[in-house]
Amino acid sequence: MKKILFALIALALTLSCTKEPVPAVESIEDIDFRIDINYPADEATRAVKAGWENGDEVMVFFNNVRVASGAKPKYIKFRYTSSGTWTKSIIGGLSNADLAAGGDTSTMTAVYFPYETVTVKTDTDSTYSFTGPDGKPVFTYYMTATNAKYTYSGGSVLGTLNMQNPEGMVQFCFKNSTLKTNSRLAVRHVQPKALVSIKQKGGTKTQLKSSFLPMKGYQYGNDVVFSGHLSTSARGVSKDYTLWHYYGSESIERWNFSGKVMNSHDAIALTTAAMSSITNKVDMGVTVNGKKVYWSKFNVGAYNTYDSGYYFSFAEIYVKQKYNSSTQLYPSYSTIDPASGHDAARENQGGAWRLPTCDEWMALRDACNMEPKTNYNGSGVDGILFTSKTTGNSIFVPKAGFYNGSTLQTGTLEYLSSTPHSTSSDSFSSIYYFGTTVASNENVVRGVMKKYYGFPVRAVCN
C-alpha cells in the first residue's frame, strides 16, 4: 500500500514539474492595467488645450503582438472620464497571452487624435494604418508615445506613456469662432501633416504636404483650430506669415504676420478681423452640359492671382522633386473623378473645387475675350487675361510652364485637366496657348501632354 502511495506522489510531482504555469488571470478583461498616460506638460495644444478631457481616447498597441494582413487590429482603447480615470475597451481579440509574449522586452506604442475619429486597419503583417471617414490619411494634430516599456506580472500590466506631439507641430486658433463649411487654412511656411501608420514594432510613418496647402479646421469648444508642421527653415527665425482662410467655395479671408518668430509647438491665436476678404469663385459665363462652371481666381497653392502655385502629375495630389516616368504613380489612370482622391484641386484646395475637364477649358476660351499680358500688374509674370463676354468678370492665368523631370519648361501656358487623351494611354488633354501677341480662339487649343509631367492647376466648381 505504501509503495502505491509513494508512486502516486511521485507521479503528481512529475506532472507538476512539466505542466505549463497557470496564468494569473483567465481573461484580459480581468487584467489590472496600471498604465500612466501623461499629457505633455511643455508641448501641449497650447492654443486651446492643456490636459486630458472627458471623452479623450488613446489607442495603445502592444509591439510584440503580430496580426496578419487584413485581420482585425489588436489594441486597447483607453477613454478618459469626467472623474479623472480611464476606462478600457479591448479591440480585435487581444488576449492576456499576447501581453505575456514579449517577456522582458515588452514595449507599447500609443496614438491620440484629439479632433478626428480614425479607423485602424491592418495593411500588412507589420503595419497598422490610420484613416479618416473618407478612407484617407488624416492631416491633423496628433500625439504619440513610442516603444514605451511595460511589465506583465501577476495579472497586472504596469507602464508609463509620455505622450508628445510631433516636433515642428504648430497651431492656429480662431478664438470665439464657429467652423465654417469646408473651412481650410493655408499658411505660408506651414505644411499639413498626417500620421499615416505605425509598425507593429513601434515605428511611425508620417506624410507631409507642401507648404501653403490648406489644413482642415476643427471646432473645439468656442474656438476653431488648425494644426500643421512648421518648415524646418522657418523655425526660430523671423519670417513673414500669410494666412489664407478658405471656406465654402467663394470666400477667402487673409491675415499677415510680418517678422514673426515661430518654433515647434507654438500657436497663433486669431482674435482680430481679417485684413482683407476675397471672393474666390468667379462667374466667367461658362456653362458645360447644362451646368454653370465657376473658376478660381488663383492657381492651387498660389499666394496671389499671378503666382504659379504647385505642380502635379496626372492623378497625383502631391508635389514632387522630379516629374518623370520613374516617379509616376498612376500611368494608366483614366478620367479623374473629384471624389476619387486623385483630384489635385479637390484634395489641396478643398471644398467643392475640382480639376476642370478639357471641355471646360475650351468653353472658357470660347466664352471670353483673351488679352496677352506681359509683366502683369508689374508682377514680372506673363499670361493671359480672360474676360467674360457675358458677365464682364476677369481672371488672369499665368504662363506657369510645366515640369519635365526636374526642369521647369518656362514661358508656356499649359494646365492640368481631368481628361485623359482619347487615343494615348500615357497622355492627357491639356489647354495649350501657343500665341505670342494676339490672343484668339485659334491660339488656344487642346494639347496632348505626358501624364508624368508636372502641371499647374486652376480649380473650378459648379
Across the range 185-209, mean pLDDT stands at 89
Give the pLDDT confidence score for residue 418 in this predicted structure: 92
Where helices occur in 406-447 by DSSP H, the ranges are none
pLDDT tier at 302, thresholds 50, 70, 90: confident
Q: β-strand 193-199 against 156-162: which pairing, if any?
A: unpaired
Does the pLDDT at position 73 exceed 80? yes
Q: What is the distance between the alpha carbons of residues 78 and 88, in angstroms, rounded to a whole number?
A: 5
* Digit-coded pLDDT (tens) for 275-287: 888 788 999 999 9
Give the pLDDT confidence score for residue 199 in this predicted structure: 85
Domain ranges of the chain: 28-277, 280-461
Give the pLDDT confidence score for residue 461 in this predicted structure: 93
Across the range 121-142, mean pLDDT stands at 89
pLDDT tier at 19, thresholds 50, 70, 90: very low
* Digit-coded pLDDT (tens) for 384-398: 999 999 999 999 999
The beta strands (E) that lie in 97-233 are given as 107-112, 119-124, 127-131, 143-153, 156-162, 169-174, 184-187, 190-191, 193-199, 204-208, 215-216, 218-220, 223-230
SS3 (DSSP) at 366: helix
Question: Contact 239/20 with Cβ under 8 angstroms?
Answer: no
The distance of Cα 105 from the centroid of its chain, to the nearest Å, equals 34
Does the pLDDT at position 7 exceed 60? no
The distance of Cα 341 from the centroid of its chain, to the nearest Å, equals 12
Give the pLDDT confidence score for residue 57 in this predicted structure: 96
SS3 (DSSP) at 16: helix
In the structure, how many helices (H) and strands (E) does the chain have? 4, 32
More confident residue, 47 or 238: 238
* Digit-coded pLDDT (tens) for 341-355: 899 998 888 778 999
Three cell numbers written together for 61: 498597441
Q: Which of 342, 350, 337, 345 is nearest to 314 (CA)?
A: 342
Give the pLDDT confidence score for residue 20 in this predicted structure: 41
pLDDT tier at 406, thresholds 50, 70, 90: very high
Give the pLDDT confidence score for residue 18 in this predicted structure: 39
Does the pLDDT at position 438 exceed 60? no
Does the pLDDT at position 15 exceed 50? no
Does the pLDDT at position 38 exceed 90? yes
Does the pLDDT at position 13 exceed 50? no
Element (H, E) at 363: helix 358-367
Question: Contact 436/443 with Cβ under 8 angstroms?
Answer: no
20-24, 191-195, 200-204, 424-428, range with greatest mean pLDDT: 191-195
* Digit-coded pLDDT (tens) for 317-338: 988 899 999 999 998 899 999 9
User: Residues 6 or more apart from 48 whose CB is under 8 A from it?
Assistant: 171, 173, 220, 221, 223, 225
Whole-model pTM?
0.78
End-to-end CA distance of the chain: 98
The 3-state secondary structure of 38-54, one letter per residue:
ECCCCCCCCCCCCCCCC
Does the pLDDT at position 159 exceed 70? yes
Which residue is associated with the grid cell 478681423? 273
Question: Contact 125/52 with Cβ under 8 angstroms?
Answer: no
Q: β-strand 267-270 against 169-174: which pairing, if any?
A: parallel
Give the pLDDT confidence score for residue 400 in this predicted structure: 94
Q: Considering the chain, what is the average pLDDT of its residues?
A: 86
The residues pairing with 57 across neighbouring beta strands, listed in sequence order, are 79
pLDDT tier at 299, thresholds 50, 70, 90: very high
pLDDT tier at 84, thresholds 50, 70, 90: very high
Does the pLDDT at position 165 exceed 60? yes
What is the edge-to-edge ordering of all strands in the sheet holding 251-261?
Answer: 215-216, 184-187, 238-247, 251-261, 276-279
Percentage of the chain with pLDDT > 70? 89
* Digit-coded pLDDT (tens) for 256-270: 889 999 999 898 889
State the burial class of residue 259 (Cβ atoms within 10 Å of its Cβ: 0-12, 13-18, 19+): exposed
Give the pLDDT confidence score for residue 434 in this predicted structure: 58
Across the range 176-188, mean pLDDT stands at 89
Query: What long-range pairs does 313-317 form, CB within 8 A, spacing at least 24?
Result: 313/451, 313/452, 313/453, 313/454, 313/455, 314/416, 314/420, 314/428, 314/451, 314/452, 315/342, 315/451, 316/342, 316/344, 317/341, 317/342, 317/343, 317/344, 317/347, 317/348
Does the pLDDT at position 89 exceed 80? yes
Across the range 245-253, mean pLDDT stands at 80
Comparing 69-83, 263-277, 279-293, the range with the smallest average pLDDT is 263-277
pLDDT tier at 2, thresholds 50, 70, 90: very low
Percentage of the chain with pLDDT > 90? 55
Give the pLDDT confidence score for residue 99 in this predicted structure: 80
User: Residues 6 or more apart from 392 whose CB is under 8 A from it?
Assistant: none
